[in-house]
Amino acid sequence: MSLPVLGSALPADAADTSSDPSLTGFGHDPWWLIGGKVLAIFVFLVLTVLLSMWVERRIIGRMQLRVGPNRAGPLGLLQGLADGVKLALKEDIVPRGVDKVVFVLAPVMSAVPAFISFIIIPFGPTVSVFGHHTALQGTDLPVAVLLVLAMSSMGVYGIVLAGWSSMSPYSLLGGLRSSAQVISYEIAMGLSFVAVFLYAGTMSTSGIVAGQQHIWYGVLLLPSFLIYIITMMGESNRIPFDLPEGEGELVGGFHTEYSSLKFAMFFLAEYINLATLSALATTLFLGGWRAPAPISTVWEGANSGWWPVLWFLVKIWLFIFFFIWLRGSLPRVRYDQLMKLGWKVLMPISIGWILIVATVRALKNEGYDIQKILLYAVVAVVVVLAASLLFEALRGRPDGDGEPAEPDGERAPDAGGYPVPPLDAPHYHGRPAGPGTDATREEVGSGIH
């Protein structure tokens, strides 16, 4: 199989027989077809948000043995629409003392990049629409995947500015948490894409889908796929990584002071990002709009016409169900655990995996036996993982010549960390009896609080 090259076009003799779109096929549609694609993507995202809200509340309700929305419409299907109308009609409260320009601009900066990111996602192959042959994709670029990373980086500006402009310490902490979280997990996410770029030979989404004609990159590049799944949970700011909205610590996070349509725009951006991250995972690792192997091998027309749109939607909704399943199953992690996972685990593994993939590709291009190369790579990975696990296991043990570690509960208050006074410490007029006082339990008596 010849790998697609950046900006390459289909051969002239294969242009009529292949339905895979190429970069040269974009930009020639009539204006009404371009407008129709943009409108179709917008309607698809809005309907996906409404349906995702209904599906999430129904599934989590079933998991927690309670009923979900069942009043508005049949089976509660119109509950999301009712919530949207309610938010639009609620009073728009702007707290006193906020930076009004930034306060109003922040929700827009969070929602608009979420819509733009979906424009490069391929829904299907080249089809005929009213006599015009066009790809079921808004557009494509030589660096299309980088557009998604750029838009996600722009979206976090809306969250940070929302926290800063609210003039609230809780909102500001939520915005700062979101910026640190996105920086940490966007680096690991970008590194998980590098292995895909190396194998596909392009950064365009249509070229990456074309490169998965015989085997999906989710199988061929399994570590990159697993890293992306973890990082996309961190990018979406959802449980178990919803630290910017931690209700137990920050009331509501960066959008504590927002209401009405401004709050609805943050809500809309979150669920659109959910669909975008799922669609990007489908495109990069699960063959995009291509049918799974059992269907594509038995049915020759599974990857032609409008049927690929069905396979694409099924894959997206499987990822959305995965998000919902995690939200109903896992607790929120601590912030230090979140940062440690991003910087100390995901990034080193991503860099090491990229080195292995690049080495395998280079040796394969030189004509070496691919089976021996893979064997050596697997052995190297096992050795590195075993060494890292052994290092982590031995690092916490005290040195043989040093003092033994203090047992739990006997750590000195000034030993670092977060010292907590003993529960039975005497207090005199609300103050603990320190070393400079002669107070005893008998002397303070009822002064213990």
Among 90-99, 221-230, 357-366, 419-428, name the one with the lowest average pLDDT.
Answer: 419-428
pTM of the model: 0.76
pLDDT value at 192 more than 80:
yes
Confidence tier at 358 by pLDDT (50, 70, 90): confident
* DSSP state at residue 431: E
In three-state secondary structure terms, 174 is helix
The winner for highest mean pLDDT among 159-168, 200-209, 234-243, 394-403 is: 200-209
Residue 142 has pLDDT above 60, yes or no: yes
* CA dist., res. 286 & res. 229, Å (int): 12
Residue with tokens 């349509």: 261
DSSP state of 132: E
Average pLDDT estimate for 123-134? 84
What percent of the chain stands above pLDDT 70? 82
Residue 40, number of CB atoms within 10 A of its CB: 13
Q: Which residues pair with 128 in a beta bridge?
A: 133
| pLDDT surpasses 90 at 163 | no
Is residue 63 within 8 Å of 328, Cβ to Cβ? yes
Phi first, then psi, for residue 427 (nearest 5°) are -125, 140
Q: Is there a contact between 154 and 113 (Cβ–Cβ < 8 Å)?
A: yes
Percent of residues in the chain assigned helix, strand, coil, to nearest 5? 65, 5, 35
Cα–Cα distance measured from residue 291 to residue 95, given in angstroms and rounded to the nearest whole number: 51
Cβ neighbours of residue 276 closer than 8 Å, sequence gap 6 or more: 114, 117, 118, 121, 148
Top-confidence range, 107-111, 359-363, 383-387, 411-415: 107-111
Chain position carrying tokens 């927690």: 64
The pLDDT score that the predictor gives to residue 417 is 57
- Asked whether 60 and 327 are in contact (CB, 8 A), the reply is yes
Provide the residue type at 215 as one letter.
I
Give the pair of three-digit tokens for residue 208.
């990456």
User: What is the chain's mean pLDDT, rounded?
Assistant: 78
Stretch 205-225: mean pLDDT: 88
| Of 375 and 103, the one with more pLDDT | 103
Name which of 436, 370, 114, 60 is nearest 266 in CA terms: 114
Separation between Cα atoms, residue 92 and residue 69, nearest integer Å = 26
Which residues make Cβ contacts (< 8 Å) with residue 71, sequence separation at least 6?
79
Confidence of residue 414 (pLDDT cuts 50, 70, 90): low
Which pairs with CB-CB distance under 8 Å and at least 24 residues apart come from 415-418? Answer: none
For the segment 67-112, what is each residue's pLDDT rounded down to a tens digit? Answer: 888 888 888 888 888 888 888 888 878 888 788 888 888 888 888 8
Distance CA(27)–CA(389), nearest Å, equals 52
The CA-atom distances, in angstroms, between 386 and each of 53, 162, 220, 381 are 43, 44, 23, 9
How large is the average pLDDT for residues 168-197? 84
For the CA atoms of 413, 417, 418, 420, what is the dihedral angle to 10 degrees?
-20
Q: How far apart are the C-alpha atoms of 372 and 163, rounded to whole Å?
A: 54
